Amino acid sequence: MRGFEKKGDMKSCGRKAVFFYLLFFFFSGFHFLSCYKEPPLPPPGPFITPETRYPIGPGDIIEIKLVPDEIGVSGQYEVDEEGRLLIPIVGEIYVVGMTSIGLRVHLQKIFSDYIKRPYIAVYVREMKSQKIYVLDEEKVGVIYVQRPLSILEAVILAGVSPKDDKLSRIYIIRWDESKKSSDIYSVNVEKILKQGDFTQNVYLKPGDIVFIPPKYTKNLSEALSFYSRVGYSIIFGLGGIRVLGIVK
């Protein structure tokens, strides 16, 4: 009988331990949510004009047109991983950091040594070096950009659904090279659409990760695992990455 009493006591203690364990996690989660502070808006950047264009980088496709072209220069070229273009007659040119206008002026000077009054045109046909990632629970997408992109444009290109996605709280994860860590900001796109509050329509930077959470949080564990889900999506979602759009 004593043995049975001991077993009964052990079961009772086990139930109490589980109860207090669950109670501890419940109040811990409640405390976390009550103390949670919404991340701020990103700090204002420099004034951006519609003509602003990002510089050329590795992986970009550049088209060059030369008139007259008796040496076969005209065509498309890809910037290699070291930031160089290999052009007939001229050889290797380091182009990272240049704009299409800057590259045109540079080539104009070079070809003036070979051709009398050359006409040069330079176009960035594909810019793959500057990108913004957009992710939600199910997919990861990338937007290639040649110019600054606003959060509202990114949301539209991503094809988000106001029924399923939480537009009132969209997170921007931005790497800070000086601190060697990421900063997290939040914006309210719903205010832009319903109240015309364009202070929320911040501009994104190349490399930014835009995280769009679901409209309804299913449970407490989902709320507590926000950072884990973002990390998981970035690590495992990139295998199925898709192009959401190209902004020129």
Q: Do the strands 149-150 and 203-204 form a parallel or antiparallel pair, or are they unpaired? A: antiparallel
Instruction: Give Cα separations from 103 to 87, 96, 97, 110, 191 (angstroms).
Output: 13, 10, 10, 11, 41
Q: Do the strands 242-247 and 140-145 form a parallel or antiparallel pair, or are they unpaired? A: parallel
pLDDT in tens, 204-225: 998 898 988 776 554 444 544 5
Region of poorest pLDDT, from 13-17, 24-28, 63-67, 226-230 = 24-28
pTM score: 0.65
Mean pLDDT of 163-180: 81
